[in-house]
Structure 1
Amino acid sequence: MICCLNPDCPNPLNPNGKKFCQSCGTPLVSLLRNRFRVIRVLSDEGGFGRTYLSEDIDKLNERCVVKQLAPKFQGTWSQKKAMELFAQEAQRLQELGEHPQIPTLLAYFEQDGCLYLVQQFVNGDNLLKELQQRKKPYNSREIQSILLDLLPVLKFIHDRNVIHRDIKPENIIRHKNDGRLSLIDFGSSKQFTAKVQNKSGTSIGSHGYSPLEQIRDGKAFAASDLFGLGATCFHLLTGTSPFQLWMECGYAWVSNWRQYLRTPLNAELDLVIDKLLKKDIQQRYQSVDEVLKDLMQKQPLALPPARNSTATIPLTKASKLPKIYGLLRTVILVSAFVMLFGFSESWYKHFRQIQTSLSSRLIQNSPRTNNPLVSPAPKITFGRVSLVNSLQGHENSVLSITISPDGKTIASSGDDGKIKLWNLATGKQISSFNTYSGQVNVVIISPNGKTLVTGNDDSSIKIWNLATGRQIRTLTGHSDSVHTLAISPDSQTLISGSDDNTIKIWDLATGEQIKTLTGHTFWVRSVAISPDGVILASGSFDKTIKIWNLAKGYSIRTLAGNSQTITNVAISPDGKTLASGSRDRTIRLWNITTGRQIRTFVGHENTVTSLAFSADGQILASGSRDRTIKLWNIATGEEILTLPAHTNTVTSVAFTPDSKTLVSSSDDNTIKIWRLFD
């Protein structure tokens, strides 16, 4: 389809091959600037243009967003102001797009009398839509998580003397894969200078979310953005729109905002929200650091996500360690402190170089390598790694893959609502069927190879006959999206984890719900069952891992101490080791029996999204938002190799039963098959 770029066209989609729009007669443009293919309209900008979902053909059809400025009233003050803000937004994205939670500017140009701004596409829903879909307000823990995610982003832009001026739920998007929040729409942002501070300007912002000094005087400060953040949190906590309250009573609502709460907040969050919402700017927080100080008084380990996030190394008794450990420990502690106050990207890279160097020296000088009585851990190398196939067939992101127990079939699912089966040896598609349930977050095949199960965004679970592709039944019981599944080794029990914060245990044969496990306080995004079927592990966005007795359904222990959300868990083939991946870019190994942390793998430059053990238990594969796959030596903790695997986030990785082939999927719409040679 070709999308018409006339902002007034009532039906802009046209069949391929057409030269003129069938609806309005406007000449059609197949590629903007010979690079960007416009797919469909995302939003209308009220007569000034439209925003389109597009593809960047120079980046293997990677999704992007094209914003169009086509004001109707040429030469007017409105047109001049719109052009000024549009150019300003491009400039801000150019300056700020290096941050992973701010869209990157890809291009800015004029064509056929219109201005175009092209930016990175953030795949997810904004917080207003998320609030509407969940049909219930957010709780205190969720709001604290949102604050800890967004405050470092605001600090980043404020440190560069930029004020956003339009903080509200619509301008905050949660990425579908890892839950990270992105701040968008810098069209209202302004460079903060002495001139701006002392001069009244044009009122820009959203009523109810923007503070008095911004709406009345046209002045904006860091504290102004913090008011917008407070109003956003209020909206999410209560379900009540600050805009509606502003229409009814102006700013009077900020003095009695607590009356709209359904349940009281904890003391720390109550204090923070109250001070964020002060009408008088002098009584309000003046900086992000002040907010963080109050928010984190009783949770020093809950460091906010930032571009400078680094891993922590488990503390060990100093008397048993070589002296170099003391130096490394000092560097790590200093880095944790710096994370809180946000240093630059270059400092972070320099620190990582120091950390890598020290880690290498530790390995060389550790007791294992120097003690002749201790057998050295086996070194794993690959003569070569070959990309043997790249499978294309999904229209959008491939969210999950699984391999059949005989190693012959790949099953995949995506946000196009389709499940596809592939011949692993030939790469040919065997079959495709539609769940009619919207996005399919996860797909899994039972150990006996007879059943395929999917977890869906509409909160349902569907069970299929793998051989025939016929749907057997649909399981309902969760109240939010199902993102993770596991099946017991005897193929009798199904485990599901959901964004309703619960884990459910099902009889796979009958579909009967056996039990619901509660304990997590945020989304459950990963579950894994031990090879003997006794232990269940779960990872959550509440930053904890829980170990459960599967048969009796009770929690054995909670593994805490993670500074960020847990995105994935996997259990080794011998059932002794648990691996966890996190948004802090690290992978941790745990002793399942004792709950003690064994070691930490550091190397990814962004969120770890997926983990898989090889069948022989020697190798751990990890996928990441940094678009790479890394292979790790479990025994030594060494990184064996890095595969620059995809052009977008790696969503899933899986080994074949013989450990010789690795399969990966990605937001770049592809599945890749890698052959590992010893």
Structure 2
Amino acid sequence: MSSSGTAAQHLPRTEARSLSGHEGAVLAVRFNRDGNYCLSCGKDRTLRLWNPHTGAHVKTYKSHAREVRDVHSSSDNAKLVSCGADRQIFYWDVASGRVIRKFRGHNSEVNSVKFNEYNAVVVSAGYDRTVRAFDCRSQSSDPIQTIDTFQDSVMSVNLTKTEIIAGSVDGTVRTFDIRMGRETVDNLGHPVNCITLSNDGNCYLANCLDSTVRLLDKSSGELLQEYKGHACKSFKMDCCLTNDDAFVVGGSEDGYVFFWELVDAPVVARFRAHSSVVTSISYHPTKACMLTSSVDGSIRVWT
């Protein structure tokens, strides 16, 4: 058996437990930086903090007026940032559950949000075709920077130390070098609904609405590989890499999760994870453990 075949045997596809509490679709689930906790959000307008390894529900965060689309925890686990259909971005204190600040500026629904590495800046992406950056240390609620070069809704945003990388329904992934003030554009030709960086930072995955996940070289924009077999035509759905960058993981609108071998792109495993669309996948930073969420209202932990 090949080494990738042997490795594929150890991919997480046994359900360890289910995290129950959300009412209606769960739109995102995310491990925190060290993988000890996770955050979820959804149609019920709440954020929830869990210990996925015991199944314990730790806390619920309520302030959004409409569905919550995305959530991210700071690297020190002290703060959260969330965004949603109410156009709001909330900056939270984890322990008290208090909203420290509401960032404003988007004039439509906000799809994606991230902290930078130093937890000092929050970057968001929205239906208003913009990416906006906010200073967590300032008392101001207004953006410190707005990027408005997209032609359609911006669905996903990621950060490196020096760059903002965002994917849009206009079929582009745009990289903004913050220090140089330079923008580079990769035109994928199909609507992009999720982008994820590889763990080594050299590549990125783009989940596109032609039911294809694409792997691109971050510096050159070269298309390295395409991954197919799943259904992704109308929902915002995550894709990611395993923590060793050996396999690509993606959800499907029929409730399946797919694993592809990174280099040659065969489907090495697929299984039914949910009864409806798999909205989100989060892979543990060090262990063979994975979280999935779904329109069916469930969050599942896989080992």
Under a length normalisation based on structure 2, what TM-score does the superposition of the two structures give?
0.92
Match of 1:158 in 2: none
Residues 487-531 of structure 1 show CA distances to partners (whole Å, capped at 9, x for unaligned) of: 22222221100100000112223364221011101100111123x
Residues 361-400 of structure 1 show CA distances to partners (whole Å, capped at 9, x for unaligned) of: xxxxxxxxxxxxxxx9854322573100111211111111
Match of 1:538 in 2: 166
Q: Which amino acid aligns with 2:185?
A: T
TM superposition shift of 1:565: 1.2
Distance 1:639 1:509 in 2: 45
Contact 2:173–2:188 (Cα < 8 Å) also in 1: no
TM superposition shift of 1:406: 2.4
Distance 1:455 1:449 in 2: 18
Could you tell me which runs of 5 or more consecutive residues in structure 2 were left unpaired when the two chains were aligned. none
Distance 1:443 1:640 in 2: 30
Residues 223-264 of structure 1 show CA distances to partners (whole Å, capped at 9, x for unaligned) of: xxxxxxxxxxxxxxxxxxxxxxxxxxxxxxxxxxxxxxxxxx
- The Cα RMSD (Å) is 1.8
Q: Identify the match of residue 198 of structure 2 among 545, 560, 572.
A: 572
Runs of at least 4 residues off by over 4 Å: 376-379
Distance 1:612 1:627 in 2: 16
TM superposition shift of 1:540: 0.7
Residues 451-489 of structure 1 show CA distances to partners (whole Å, capped at 9, x for unaligned) of: 111002111100111222221111111111111012222
Q: How much identity, in percent, do the aligned residues show?
A: 25
Distance 1:505 1:603, change over 3 A: same
Q: Which amino acid aligns with 1:575?
A: G
Match of 1:45 in 2: none
Contact 1:515–1:553 (Cα < 8 Å) also in 2: no
Contact 1:377–1:635 (Cα < 8 Å) also in 2: no
Count of residue correspondences: 296
Which aligned pairs between 1:180-579 and structure 2 lie closer than 5 A? 378-379=4-5, 380-383=7-10, 385-510=13-138, 512=140, 513-530=143-160, 533-555=161-183, 557-562=184-189, 564-579=190-205
Q: Secondary structure at the match of 1:609?
A: coil
TM superposition shift of 1:636: 2.9
Which aligned pairs between 1:663-678 and structure 2 lie closer than 5 A? 663-675=291-303
TM superposition shift of 1:545: 1.3
Match of 2:230 in 1: 604
Residues 583-626 of structure 1 show CA distances to partners (whole Å, capped at 9, x for unaligned) of: 10001110111111111111113337211223322222111212
TM superposition shift of 1:534: 1.8
Contact 1:611–1:623 (Cα < 8 Å) also in 2: yes
Contact 1:610–1:624 (Cα < 8 Å) also in 2: no
Contact 1:630–1:639 (Cα < 8 Å) also in 2: yes
TM superposition shift of 1:553: 4.3
Distance 1:482 1:553 in 2: 24
| In the alignment, structure 1 residue 593 sits paired with structure 2 residue 223 | no
Contact 2:64–2:88 (Cα < 8 Å) also in 1: no
Distance 2:285 2:10 in 1: 20
Q: Which amino acid aligns with 2:166?
A: S
More strand by share: 2
Distance 1:592 1:641 in 2: 27
Distance 1:437 1:520 in 2: 27
Q: Which has the higher contact order (CA 8 A, sep 6+)?
A: 2
Could you tell me which runs of 5 or more consecutive residues in structure 1 were left unpaired when the two chains were aligned. 1-375
Q: Which amino acid aligns with 2:168?
A: S
Match of 2:280 in 1: 652
Under a length normalisation based on structure 1, what TM-score does the superposition of the two structures give?
0.42
